[in-house]
Amino acid sequence: MVRGRGARSTRAEQDMAFEQAAIKVEKAQEFGALQSAIERAFAPDKVERFLKQLDRKGIRVRDLGAILAQRVLEGIGDAGSNARQLYESLPVSDQALLREFYLSKLEGVDTALRHRFKKLYQYY
């Protein structure tokens, strides 16, 4: 149905709001270990140290691949095993969920801290 300019949506269209599909994690143990490592990195008492490490290594905050390759997560707390190996052992769907989780955590960093490390948050 094509509507003209200024037309209003119907009640049924309003009820069909977007909802993200729930995707089941296939390798829950590995996913959980990586999720815990990310949560530790973004904990209020560790996030500044995490961002400083990224800055020293010249890694942009959104570049999860480089963060894993440079073993930055292992340097924050007790990540234990190799985060990159864990990540690579995950199926693509789990990797996508983990990337989404990581991106949500980095966007939740305090505004003042994000401004202080604005170079890391730049897209280019």
Render pLDDT for 35-88 as a digit per residue (tens, 0 to 9). Answer: 999 999 999 999 999 999 999 999 999 999 999 999 998 877 555 568 889 899
Residue 102: closest CA among 72, 60, 64: 64
CA atoms of 59 and 7, how far apart (whole Å): 47
Render pLDDT for 75-88 as a digit per residue (tens, 0 to 9). Answer: 775 555 688 898 99
Whole-model pTM?
0.76
Sequence letter at residue 12: A
Residue 38: closest CA among 109, 110, 118, 89: 109
For residues 10 and 68, the model is more confident at 68
Give residue 18's pLDDT.
Answer: 44
The DSSP secondary-structure symbol of 26 reads S
CA atoms of 105 and 101, how far apart (whole Å): 6
